[in-house]
């Protein structure tokens, strides 16, 4: 987390992947990684609950 806190606006605007048709900046890549992590968190918790024999209310 300390690495992210130290990023400046210029750092976030730097292109990190120019191979794509629309080059990707560090800021866009960071948002993409966070979005992917959030998208996988809920299903992972659901499976955890199934494995732990949790009840979902009915």
How many angstroms separate the CA atoms of 27 and 58, rounded? Answer: 42
Task: Say how many residues make up the chain.
Answer: 58
Tell whether the model's pLDDT for residue 1 goes beyond 80. no
Q: What is the pLDDT of residues 16-55, one digit of tens each?
A: 998 888 899 999 999 999 999 999 898 888 888 888 876 6
pTM score, whole prediction: 0.66
Tell whether the model's pLDDT for residue 10 goes beyond 90. yes
Which of residues 49 and 58 earns the better pLDDT score?
49
Angle at CA 15, nearest 5°, toward 14 and 18? 170
Q: How confident is the model at residue 12 (pLDDT cuts 50, 70, 90)?
A: very high
CB-neighbour burial class of residue 29 (10 A; exposed 0-12, middle 13-18, buried 19+) = middle
What pLDDT score does 45 carry?
A: 85
């Amino acid at each position: 987390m300390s690495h992210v806190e130290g990023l400046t606006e210029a750092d976030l605007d730097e292109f990190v992947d120019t191979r794509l048709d629309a080059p990707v900046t560090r800021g866009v890549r960071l948002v993409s990684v966070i979005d992917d992590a959030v998208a996988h968190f809920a299903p992972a918790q659901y499976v955890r609950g199934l494995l732990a024999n949790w009840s979902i209310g009915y």
